[in-house]
C-alpha cells in the first residue's frame, strides 16, 4: 500500500501518521516520511531508546538517510506481503529511494540502502544516537568503515560506504549517487561486526528478510475482499510479537498523546492480557496457529506464576511483573504533551475483565490446539474459585481509569465470559470441575448485568452501576455472545451508542464531556475517536443484520489508516492519528471485523442469528 505525495516540511513534531514501522520481532523502529528513524528502542521493545526525536526534536536523537533536495516529494510503501519499507523521493526529473529493514537473525541491526533511480541524487546521512531515553550523549570515534558511539555501558556501531565526518555524539555525511548507483548503511547495536559488513551481506540479508515475510504471509488465510489491509494488519501483529517469548506488544511506542498538550501519555510497549482473546481469535482466523500457541503459552505461564489467583493486567514482554511508572521530565514530548512516561502504573490495577479474556483465549485456542493440559486446567480452576469470590468488586475497568474504582459493565461482562467458557469447555472436552457452581455463578452475573446495568430512561446498558452514561465497551456484548444481536434491549443500546458516541464511522470510548465523566476517567482533555471501538461497532452492526451499512462504514474506516495501512490508537476529528503507534488492538479488531463481514457477505448461515 503506497502513500500519496507529500511535500517535505516539518512541523514542530512529525505527525504520528507520517511514519511506517520496521522490526525483527524483538524490537521496532519508526521511519518518518523524510527518511528519519526518529524512534528506536534497543535491544527489546521496552528497552531504553536509542533514537527519540519523535518525543523531543532537540534532545531525542535521530538517524536520517534522505535526499538533500527538500523540494522532492516523498511517499512510503511496503514491498507487498513484507515488512520491508521503501521511502521514495520524486521530482520532475529525479527519483530516489531509501529501503529500510531489520534482518530476522536476532542481531538488532537496521539496514538502510540509498539508491539513485533516475538522475544523479545528493543524499544526507546523519546519525545522532542518544542513549538511555536521551539522557546520555555518547562519544563518537572513527573506526575502519564507520564510527562507534559509546557511553561506557553501551556501544553502537555504524558502518557506511561513504566517509563519515565525526563530531560530538554524531556522524554525518553528504554524498552523491549517480543514476543506478546505491550505497548502504548498517547500524549494529551492541557489538562490532566481524567480519565487516559489506554488499554481499546486505544483499543476502535483504533476500532472506523478504523471503521470511513472503513465506509467513503465504501460510495464512485471508479474506478475498480487503486482502491487502488484512495482510498488513497481520504483518503488524507479527512484527509486534516476541519471537523469543510469544508475547505481543500493545504498540511499539510510549509517550504519544491521546490528547495533544495533555497528560494522557502512556507506555504501551508491554503485553496486555486484555489483548489475548482478540489476538488468539485473529491469529486463528488467519490460520496462524503457531503464534496462537506461543501467546497462549505466555499467558498460561503468567497464570502459573500467580498461583492461579489474581493476575496482572499486563506484563513486560519477557514476563516481568514489575513495571514502575517514571516521568521523563527532560523530554518535551510530542507537540509538548507532557509528562512523557515510561513504565505503566496500571499494571497494579484491579481489572476483573482480564479473567474473561484469558478464559476466552483458552476456549478459542482449544479449537485448534486441543484441550488444555491437566496442570493448566487445575490452575484455571483455582483462578475461577478466586473469581467466584471477587467478581462483584469495583475495579478500574477495561479503560484503566485513574479515578475511583467502580462496578463497570465491561468487567461484569467479562466475568460472565469466564464462567460461560469454563462451562462450555467442561462439556466439550470432558474436563473436571464444579460445573454446577460455575453455571450458577454465570447466571448470577447475567442477572446482575440485566438488572443493575440496564437504564430504562436512556434505553441502554450503562457504563457502570448507577450511571447514565454509555461506554463503547458495551459493543462486546454480542461479540462475546452474551446477548442476541437482534434482542430488543440490544437494539435500543445500539441506538444509544450511535446517538452518544458515534460520528459516522468513528466511535468514542465514552463521552468524556458528559456530566461526571471526568470523575470516572480521572484525567483532563477530550480524547479522539478510538479506532478499536470503531471496528467493534462495525462488527456489532453486522451482527444485527445491517451488513450493507456495516460494510460501508468498514470501508470508510479503512480510509483513516495512514498511507501504508497502519493505525495509531485514536483519531482526531481531522483524521490525525493520536496515541501510541502502531496499535495492535486496532489491527486485531480490523481482522475480526473483516472476517465477519466476509462471512456475512458470502451468505454464511452461521452469521445470521449468531449471538
Tell me the pLDDT band of 607, cut-offs 50, 70 and 90.
low
| Percent of the residues in the chain that have a pLDDT greater than 70, as a whole number | 93
Other CB atoms within a 10 A radius of the CB of residue 449 amount to 19
C-alpha atoms less than 13 angstroms from C-alpha of 216 in its C-beta half-sphere: 24
Rounded mean pLDDT, 546-562? 97
Region 191-215 average pLDDT:
86
Phi, psi dihedral angles at 103 (to 5 degrees) = -60, 155
DSSP labels, 6-29: EE----SS--TTSEEEEE-SS-EE
Helix axes 374-390, 289-305, angle to 10 degrees: 60
Distance between CA atoms of 415 and 444, rounded to whole angstroms? 11
**DSSP 8-state assignment for residue 267:** B
User: Is a pLDDT exceeding 90 seen at residue 513?
Assistant: no
Q: Is residue 76 within 8 Å of residue 87, measured between CB atoms?
A: yes
Report the alpha-carbon angle 241-246-248, nearest 5.
40
**Confidence at 512, pLDDT banded by 50, 70, 90:** low
For residue 75, say if its preceding peptide bond is cis, omega within 30 degrees of 0.
Answer: no
Burial class (CB in 10 A: 0-12, 13-18, 19+), 71: exposed
Residues in a beta bridge with 241: 248
3-class state of residue 175 by DSSP: strand
Domain boundaries, the chain: 6-196, 224-602
What share of the chain has pLDDT > 90, as a percent?
Answer: 77
> How confident is residue 308, by pLDDT bands cut at 50, 70 and 90?
low
How many Cα atoms occupy the beta-carbon half-sphere of 295 within 13 Å? Answer: 32
**Domain 6-196, what architecture?**
Distorted Sandwich (2.70)
Largest CA distance in the chain: 77
Residue 2 has pLDDT above 50, yes or no: no
User: Considering the domain 224-602 in this protein, what is its CATH number?
Assistant: 1.50.10.10
Specify the length of the chain in residues.
611
Cα 495 to chain centroid distance, Å, stands at: 29
The whole-number average pLDDT for the span 321-344 is 96
- Can you give the pLDDT at residue 174? 97
Residue 246 pairs in a beta bridge with none
Residue 202 CB neighbour total at 10 angstroms: 22
pLDDT for the residue numbered 266: 95
User: Which residues, 6+ apart, have CB-to-CB distance to 336 below 8 Å?
Assistant: 12, 261
pLDDT tens-digit profile of 52-103?
Answer: 999 999 999 999 999 999 899 999 999 999 999 999 999 999 999 999 999 9
State the Cα–Cα distance between residues 125 and 379, nearest whole angstrom.
54
Report pLDDT digits (tens) over 248-306.
999 999 999 999 988 889 999 999 998 777 888 888 889 888 888 888 889 888 888 87
Q: pLDDT (tens digit, 9 = 90+) per residue, 351-388?
A: 999 999 989 988 988 877 788 888 889 889 999 999 99
Q: What is the three-class DSSP state of 572?
A: coil
pLDDT at site 515: 61
Read off the pTM. 0.93
Q: Give the DSSP H or E segment for 210.
A: helix 199-218
- Segment among 45-54, 253-262, 394-403, 407-416 with least mean pLDDT: 394-403
Mean pLDDT of the chain: 91
For strands 326-327 and 314-315, give the pairing: unpaired
Amino acid at each position: 500500500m503506497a502513500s500519496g505525495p507529500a511535500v517535505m516540511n516539518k512541523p514542530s513534531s512529525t505527525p504520528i501518521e507520517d511514519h511506517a514501522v520496521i522490526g525483527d520481532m524483538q524490537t521496532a523502529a519508526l521511519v518518518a516520511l523524510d527518511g528519519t528513524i526518529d524512534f528506536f528502542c534497543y535491544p527489546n521493545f521496552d528497552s531504553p531508546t536509542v533514537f527519540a526525536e519523535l518525543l523531543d526534536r532537540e534532545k531525542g536523537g535521530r538517524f536520517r538517510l534522505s535526499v538533500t533536495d527538500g523540494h522532492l516529494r516523498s511517499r512510503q510503501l511496503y514491498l507487498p506481503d513484507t515488512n520491508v519499507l521503501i521511502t521514495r523521493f520524486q521530482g520532475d526529473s529525479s527519483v530516489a529511494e531509501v529501503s529500510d529493514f531489520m534482518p530476522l537473525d536476532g542481531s538488532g541491526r537496521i539496514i538502510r540502502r540509498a539508491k539513485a533511480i533516475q538522475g544523479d541524487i545528493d543524499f544526507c546521512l546523519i546519525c545522532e544516537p542518544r542513549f538511555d531515553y536521551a539522557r546520555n550523549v555518547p562519544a563518537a570515534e572513527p573506526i575502519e568503515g564507520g564510527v562507534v558511539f559509546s557511553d561506557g555501558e553501551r556501544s553502537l556501531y555504524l558502518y557506511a560506504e561513504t566517509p563519515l565526518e565525526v563530531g560530538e555524539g554524531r556522524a554525518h555525511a553528504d554524498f552523491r549517487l549517480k543514476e543506478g548507483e546505491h550505497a548502504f548503511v548498517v547500524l549494529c547495536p551492541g557489538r562490532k561486526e566481524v567480519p565487516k559488513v559489506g554488499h554481499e551481506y546486505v544483499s543476502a540479508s535483504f533476500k532472506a528478510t523478504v523471503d521470511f515475510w513472503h513465506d509467513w504471509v503465504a501460510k495464512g488465510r485471508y479474506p478475498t475482499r480487503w486482502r491487502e489491509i488484512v495482510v498488513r494488519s497481520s504483518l503488524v501483529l507479527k512484527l509486534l510479537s516476541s519471537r523469543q517469548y510469544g508475547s505481543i506488544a500493545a504498540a511499539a511506542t510510549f509517550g504519544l498523546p491521546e490528547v495533544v498538550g495533555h497528560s494522557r501519555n502512556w507506555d504501551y510497549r508491554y503485553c496486555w492480557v486484555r489483548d489475548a482473546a482478540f489476538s488468539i481469535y485473529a491469529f486463528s482466523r488467519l490460520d496462524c496457529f503457531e503464534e496462537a500457541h506461543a501467546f497462549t503459552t505466555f499467558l498460561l505461564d503468567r497464570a502459573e506464576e500467580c498461583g492461579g489467583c489474581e493476575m496482572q493486567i499486563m506484563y513486560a514482554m519477557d514476563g516481568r511483573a514489575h513495571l514502575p511508572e517514571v516521568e521523563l521530565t527532560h523530554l518535551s514530548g510530542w507537540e509538548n504533551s507532557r509528562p512523557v512516561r515510561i513504565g505503566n502504573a496500571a499494571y497494579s490495577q484491579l481489572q476483573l475483565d482480564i479473567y474473561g479474556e484469558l478464559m476466552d483465549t483458552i476456549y478459542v485456542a482449544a479449537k485448534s490446539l486441543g484441550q488444555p493440559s491437566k496442570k493448566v486446567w487445575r490452575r484455571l480452576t483455582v483462578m475461577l474459585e478466586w473469581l467466584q469470590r471477587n467478581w462483584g468488586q469495583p475495579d478500574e475497568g477495561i479503560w484503566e481509569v485513574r479515578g475511583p474504582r467502580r462496578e463497570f459493565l465491561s468487567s461484569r461482562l467479562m466475568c460472565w465470559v469466564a464462567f460461560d467458557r469454563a462451562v462450555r469447555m467442561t462439556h466439550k472436552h470432558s474436563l473436571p470441575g464444579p460445573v454446577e457452581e460455575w453455571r450458577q455463578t454465570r447466571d448470577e452475573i447475567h442477572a446482575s448485568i440485566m438488572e443493575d446495568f440496564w437504564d430504562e430512561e436512556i434505553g441502554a446498558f450503562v457504563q457502570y452501576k448507577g450511571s447514565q452514561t454509555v461506554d463503547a465497551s458495551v459493543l462486546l456484548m454480542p461479540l462475546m455472545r452474551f446477548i442476541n444481536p437482534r434482542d430488543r434491549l440490544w437494539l435500543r443500546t445500539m441506538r444509544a451508542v450511535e446517538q452518544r458516541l458515534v460520528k459516522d464511522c468513528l466511535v468514542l470510548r465514552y463521552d468524556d464531556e458528559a456530566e461526571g465523566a471526568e470523575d470516572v476517567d480521572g484525567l483532563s482533555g477530550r480524547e479522539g475517536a478510538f479506532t478499536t471501538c470503531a471496528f467493534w461497532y462495525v462488527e456489532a452492526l453486522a451482527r444485527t443484520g445491517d451488513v450493507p451499512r456495516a460494510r460501508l462504514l468498514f470501508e470508510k474506516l479503512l480510509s483513516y489508516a495512514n498511507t501504508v495501512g497502519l493505525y495509531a490508537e485514536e483519531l482526531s476529528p481531522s483524521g490525525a492519528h493520536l496515541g501510541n503507534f502502531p496499535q495492535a488492538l486496532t489491527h486485531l479488531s480490523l481482522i475480526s471485523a473483516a472476517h465477519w463481514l466476509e462471512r456475512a457477505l458470502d451468505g454464511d448461515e452461521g452469521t445470521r442469528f449468531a449471538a
